[in-house]
Amino acid sequence: MRVTNKPVILASTSPRRKELLTLAGVDFTVVPSPAEEPEPDYGELPAAYAARMARLKAAPVAAAHPGAVVIGADSVVAVGGTILGKPRDAADARRMLSLLSGCTHQVVTGCAVFGLGDDPEIFTVSTDVAMTVLSEAAIAAYVATGEPLDKAGAYAIQGRAAAFITEIHGSYTNVVGLPLAEVMRHVRPLAHSTS
């Protein structure tokens, strides 16, 4: 386990990632990454894409804050090798949920930790998630709530979609957006939140 007393920066504005790091007692600040998120390359595997995106997000923040430990992350949902990012619109969200209905899929989060050594530490965590069969009416009702529209794979396990999940194999926090145990194994800050 690495131990650092450097300031910790989360290169993400995700409320879920902020909540998870706070739950772990980490004292950190948020610096949004300016990086764009390109589409996956042709044939790129989900883990490779998630790792590439995490590094892409964290790198500019780390360059601007060389004295800090910077954590970047990117989560994707994959079904049958197909990467599902955030839906473009309600119709795309319905398409994604139809693909996931009745299937076991993978949630893969890539993490990049800069500032612990000369090179960033890059790793991925994958969790298998089984979803119940969803009727068209159930999908339409869920999409109408607006919750799926900014979520990878068009669902939030910590939200209303919790009722759709029948089994999980692996890290729950990974599905929420940050594999907390694995991140904390890489960096355990001495500075903890006092709140």
Tokens of 176: 């929420």
Q: Which residues of 14-24 are buried (b: 16+ CB within 10 A; e: fewer)?
A: bebbbebbeeb
SS3 label, residue 167: strand
Compute φ and ψ for 28, nearest 5 degrees: -145, 165
Task: Compute the distance between CA of residue 40 and CA of residue 49 in angstroms, rounded to an integer.
Answer: 6
| Ramachandran sector of residue 126 (left: φ over 0; alpha: ψ -120 to 50; beta: rest) | beta
Give catalytic residue positions: 74
SS3 label, residue 57: helix
Which residue, chain included where needed, has tokens 């949630």?
107
